[in-house]
Amino acid sequence: MNRTKLSWTVANIEKMHKDKKVLSFDHQIQRKSEIWSNAQKSLLIHSMLANYPVPNIYVLREDSEQVDEKKKPIFNYYVMDGKQRLTSTLSYIWGDFPLDDNIPDITVEDTEYQIAGKYFCDLEEPVQYEIRRYKFEIIAFEDCSNREIEEIFFRLNNSTALTKSQIAKAKIGVELAGMVNQMLGSRFFTTSCNFTGAQLKASDDQRCLLQGMMLLDTNYVANFELKDFSENSILEYSESIRENYSDRQSNMLKSAIEYLTDAFPEKNKQLRKINIPILMYLADVAMDAEIKPMLFRQWFEFFTNEDELFEDYKMFCSTGSTKYEKIMGRLGIMTKSFCLHHEIEIPEELKDTVSTVEEKVALIKEEREKESSLEAGPMLEEKDGGDAPDAGSAGQEEEADEPLQEGQPLLEQGEPESKEQGEISAVQKCADAPMEQEDTPEIQKEITGYCEDEPEPPKTGEGDSPVDAEG
């Protein structure tokens, strides 16, 4: 591994990226970068003009084995750290955004200039010139092995917490990371799936892809045992497939994603992270059964909107949805619905799963019925054998509730008018009381009405800033 110090002007960086196409901002192993706010980008531009420190840019340099018109070797550069700094600078000179209104004035050659709220084209010529000639300090690594590249990545991001999913991507190695990026760049993941901005920031799309790969491997890889969909299991799986992911696995995965891309040409609100790994598995089943992608989509829409089995499916989408039992529950119910809808045999490798899940659903329903009958019992007893009416009220009709008249005093807080109202009040208090956090994660219930676990939110400090290292 060799290390070289370079200096690039903004004008050179623009030419390298736009014209010569030898500078890339997306190395395979790099995590998705958080897009900076206008205030962050503006502060960077001000730092460049006001001579405040800006962190170094780290790149990988590779010999392209080509030469320019002067017979000098042409190198390709891949940004490992500093993407947001470079892209923010270029997007500003390309006129993509104005500077923040609160940016202070700057001084160039003893002349003060106001830059707040201005696009690049609105800046005075000396200010434009200062930006274009600004030099970023570059640290270039070359002759690196894949292991060394991964280690550079980890060390550069040591100050900003990586999620386990982001670490997992690095653990699979450079070559597989490229395949993962290709899959995540498909229309299925970028357009069809229903990921929120927060979920994408947490790399939930990548997590879903790896979970789907794990599920597919249960059918195609001998001795592979799925434990669960936890972060630790994903990380363990990523390390295990490094340099061990066969062409057969790769082709099968690509075929499944291509199939789903054809099946869902547009965004589908039901394509949520809890469903996607199961659908990746069923896409493989559908291709074996020669079911067209359009018919696959029609089944899924039927399943999520009309199928009675969807209520059973929800049983396995609550808290703890990453556990093995919940995964198999979702796979079993969805497989059953899929096969019934298309009038095909349940695949041999899934028959035991479907049968086990059916038994589990029957037990759950039986327990729920018992609980309902136990809850209803005391209420019926009270109704049938309750207190007898007072002697004075015998034969009298019960007075109907009358609306509150103007000037009628309200009941004192905590003093119910009657036993019945007291009971209603107690019920209301129960209804109004906050539910336990475990049962009500904010994103658990969306369009479908069922719940799922959410990952831990990324820790504070994740992402690039004008003064911190970025991923």
Q: What is the dihedral of CA 127, 131, 133, 137, to 10 degrees?
A: 150
**Structure confidence by residue, pLDDT tens digits, 142-178:** 888 777 777 777 777 665 555 666 667 667 777 788 8
Q: Which two tokens stand for residue 94?
A: 């390309």
Burial of residue 119 (CB within 10 Å: 0-12, 13-18, 19+) is: middle
* Residue 461 to residue 457: CA distance in whole angstroms: 12
Number of Cβ atoms within 10 Å of the Cβ of 265: 14
Q: Can you give the pLDDT at residue 398?
A: 35
* CA 417 – CA 217 distance, rounded (Å): 65
Which residue positions in the chain have pLDDT lower than 50? 380-471
C-alpha to C-alpha distance for 251 and 287, rounded to whole angstroms: 13
Determine contact, residues 289/343, Cβ cutoff 8 Å: no
The pLDDT, as a whole number, for residue 27 is 66
Residue-level pLDDT at 433: 41
Asked whether the whole model's pTM tops 0.75, one would answer no
User: Which helix H or strand E contains 381, and what residues bound it?
Assistant: helix 348-384
d(CA 273, CA 195): 7
Q: How far apart are CA 447 and CA 329, in angstroms?
A: 21
Residue 136's identity, in one-letter code, is F
Tokens of 115: 């830059």
The pLDDT, as a whole number, for residue 385 is 46
d(CA 260, CA 369) in angstroms, rounded, equals 39
Residue 77: which of 148, 135, 4, 132 has the closest Cα? 4
Domain boundaries, the chain: 2-160, 181-363
CB 105 within 8 A of CB 124: no
Encoded amino acid at 293, one letter: P
The predicted pLDDT at position 120 comes to 97
pLDDT of residue 467: 37
DSSP class of 267: -
Position 371 scores a pLDDT of 82
Give the Å distances, CA to CA, from 122 to 97, 148, 168: 12, 45, 45
Residue 424, token pair as written in the block: 């209603």
User: What pLDDT shows up at residue 32?
Assistant: 59
Residues near 440 by beta carbon (within 8 Å), at least 6 away in sequence = none
